[in-house]
Amino acid sequence: MKILVTGATGFIGRAFSHLALNAGHQIGAMILPSETPPKFLCRPGITWLKGSLAEPPWAEIKAFAPESCLHLAWIATPGVYLESPENEKYFQWGLHFVRKASELGTRHFCVAGTCVEYQNSKERLSESRTPIQPTTPYARWKNELRLALEAASVTDRFTLTWARIFYPYGIGEHPSRLCSAITQKLIRNEKIELRTPGSTKDYIYIEDLASAFLEVMDRHYCGAVNLGTGVGVSIRTIADTIGEFVGKPELIEETHSPEIDPFGYVVADPTRLLELGWKPKVDLKEGLSRLVQNLTQQ
């Protein structure tokens, strides 16, 4: 299959492109004109398309003639993306991009949504049962894109997978993300003060997330689907596990005045994904072990 990937040099895009190439697919990878392709992705089967969502390389995309598209490109900077006004621009760019690509012949689109589109719940989040109630600009504009693309898919005659991503982690993630930030601080002998130790999320190893994306795309799945494991893990458990791997558990402590996490329990009901035949291969302990080993060797 010929797959067009936006955000191909991002954390998820790199992992997906690598896996899809290994599976025999051809990748048309969009990359900013100022960027240099990662060396491990410079291999047969990948075509680099220089441009951006604001100014896509339409002539090159048409020449590549993708059958499917994985749309990942969006603002994702930790500490910034949830409230950024840039989210509205990515909505506008993404809507125009998908509709134009469909005009050029792409018939299936898999678009990255987010688990925080859902209403807060103390139960696992279900595509069919949990209400949608986004509370941040990031989640609201993601959801607006879903609604717009669902309508466009009828008039423009393409199929749509709306993939709600939970909490990816692993080698290659942004250094400010939770697992890497804790690891690096412990390596530097800095104390870790946990402000929301009981906060529980569904962490999915990056290679498992890439394989989940490939599964839904291979099957041209139509509709919303959670990309998560169904297993909730607390920040305290993550910190303690990393502390043991680094050999400095004594540096981890909880704040005397814990904060309330507005997303205190975010865990997927992965039934739809599991029914497609997908299974996670890397549990949390193995995933954190790989990440710690990688960061320790840098």
* Number of other CB atoms surrounding residue 20 within 10 Å: 24
Rounded Cα gap, residues 23 and 25, in angstroms: 6
Q: How confident is the model at residue 187 (pLDDT cuts 50, 70, 90)?
A: very high
Question: In the chain, pLDDT over 70 holds for what percent of residues?
Answer: 100
Rounded Cα gap, residues 40 and 182, in angstroms: 27
Region of poorest pLDDT, from 17-31, 64-78, 247-261, 278-292: 247-261
Question: In the chain, pLDDT over 90 holds for what percent of residues?
Answer: 96
Q: In this structure, what DSSP letter does residue 229 have?
A: -
**Which domains occur in the chain, in start order?**
2-168+203-227 (3.40.50.720), 172-201+231-266+275-296 (3.90.25.10)
What pLDDT, on a 0 to 100 scale, did the predictor assign at position 298?
83
Q: Dump pLDDT digits (tens) for 154-177.
A: 999 999 999 999 999 999 999 999
Q: Dump pLDDT digits (tens) for 38-81.
A: 999 999 999 999 999 999 999 999 999 999 999 999 999 988 99
In terms of pTM, does the model score above 0.85?
Answer: yes
Cβ-contact 142, 134 below 8 angstroms: yes
* CA proximity to 68, closest of 24, 28, 97, 15: 28
What pLDDT, on a 0 to 100 scale, did the predictor assign at position 84?
97
CA 253 to chain centre: 29
What pLDDT, on a 0 to 100 scale, did the predictor assign at position 192?
96
Q: Does the structure show a pLDDT above 90 at 27?
A: yes
**Average pLDDT of the chain, as a whole number:** 97
What pLDDT, on a 0 to 100 scale, did the predictor assign at position 30?
97
Region of poorest pLDDT, from 192-196, 222-226, 238-242, 255-259: 255-259
Q: How confident is the model at residue 224 (pLDDT cuts 50, 70, 90)?
A: very high
Helical (H) or strand (E) element with 213: helix 206-218
Q: Dump pLDDT digits (tens) for 84-141.
A: 999 999 999 999 999 999 999 999 999 999 999 999 999 999 999 999 999 999 999 9
What pLDDT, on a 0 to 100 scale, did the predictor assign at position 258?
81
Q: How confident is the model at residue 260 (pLDDT cuts 50, 70, 90)?
A: confident
What pLDDT, on a 0 to 100 scale, did the predictor assign at position 61?
98
Q: Does the structure show a pLDDT above 90 at 262?
A: no
What pLDDT, on a 0 to 100 scale, did the predictor assign at position 5?
98
Strands (DSSP E) along the chain, which ranges? 2-6, 26-31, 46-50, 68-71, 108-114, 159-165, 167-169, 192-194, 200-201, 203-205, 223-227, 233-234, 252-254, 265-266
